[in-house]
Amino acid sequence: MPNILDEIVAAKRIELAESKTQVSLADLESVADGQPRPLNLSGALLGGGVRLIAEVKKASPSRGLLVPDFDHLKLA
């Protein structure tokens, strides 16, 4: 009898196979090329001045909704 993780993996494999038929690799690469470059985390941390890494969350898997009126810019 498969456990829940096996069921999730099987469902995701089916979902992935279906999504591959909806968007071509060339289209996906084109979209990716149009995205901004990712930030260089190690470079940012090694630079001068104060450095801060923070996370704001609307919800937590264990505690549920943390902030009902979530505005990430206001919280940051």
Write down the domain spans for the chain: 4-75
| Closest to 55 (Cα-Cα) out of 67, 68, 42, 38 | 67
The whole-number pLDDT of residue 34 equals 92
Checking phi first, is residue 52 left (phi over 0); if not, alpha (psi -120 to 50) or beta? beta
Rounded mean pLDDT, 50-65? 87
Sign of CA dihedral 44, 50, 56, 62: positive
pLDDT at 31: 92
Q: Residue 76: is its pLDDT beyond 80?
A: no
Mean confidence (pLDDT) of the chain: 88
In the predicted model, is pLDDT for residue 42 greater than 90?
Answer: no
